Amino acid sequence: MQLLEALFLGLVQGLTEFLPISSSAHLRIVGEFLPGAKDPGAAFTAIIQIGTELAVVVYFWRDIVRIVARFFLALFAVKGADGVARVPRNDPDARMGWLIILGSLPIIALGLLFQDDIETTFRSLWIVAITLIVFGVILGIADVVGRKERKLTQLTYGHGIIFGLAQALALIPGVSRSGGTTTAGLFLGYTRRAAARYSFLLALPAVFGSGLYQLHKSLTETCTAATTAAGTCTPEVFGPLETFLATVVAFIVGLAVIVFFLGYVSRKSFLPFVVYRIALGIVLLVLLGTGTIAP
β-partners of residue 79 are 85
Q: How far apart are CA 92 and CA 85, in angstroms?
A: 15
Give the predicted TM-score (pTM) of the model: 0.86
Q: How far apart are CA 16 and CA 176, in angstroms?
A: 9
Instruction: Say what the pLDDT of residue 113 is.
Output: 85
Other residues' Cβ atoms within 10 Å of the Cβ of residue 226: 9
**Distance from the Cα of residue 19 to its chain's centroid:** 10
Long-range contacts of 169-173 (CB under 8 A, 24+ apart): 169/135, 170/22, 170/24, 170/107, 171/107, 171/110, 171/111, 171/114, 171/118, 171/122, 172/118, 172/122, 172/127, 172/131, 173/22, 173/24, 173/25, 173/27, 173/28, 173/122, 173/123, 173/127, 173/128, 173/131
Residue 264 · residue 20 · CB < 8 Å: no
Residue ranges per structural domain of the chain: 2-289
**233 pLDDT exceeds 70?**
no
Q: How much is the average pLDDT of 14-39?
A: 85
Q: Which of 49-63, 81-95, 230-244 has the lowest mean pLDDT?
A: 230-244
Task: Tell me the pLDDT tens digit for each residue of 241-286.
Answer: 898 999 999 999 999 999 999 999 988 999 999 999 999 999 999 9
Nearest to 23 by CA among 14, 32, 31: 14
Residue 11 · residue 51 · CB < 8 Å: no
Q: How confident is the model at residue 58 (pLDDT cuts 50, 70, 90)?
A: very high
Summary mean pLDDT of the chain: 87
Please tell me whether residue 43 adopts helix, strand or coil conformation: helix
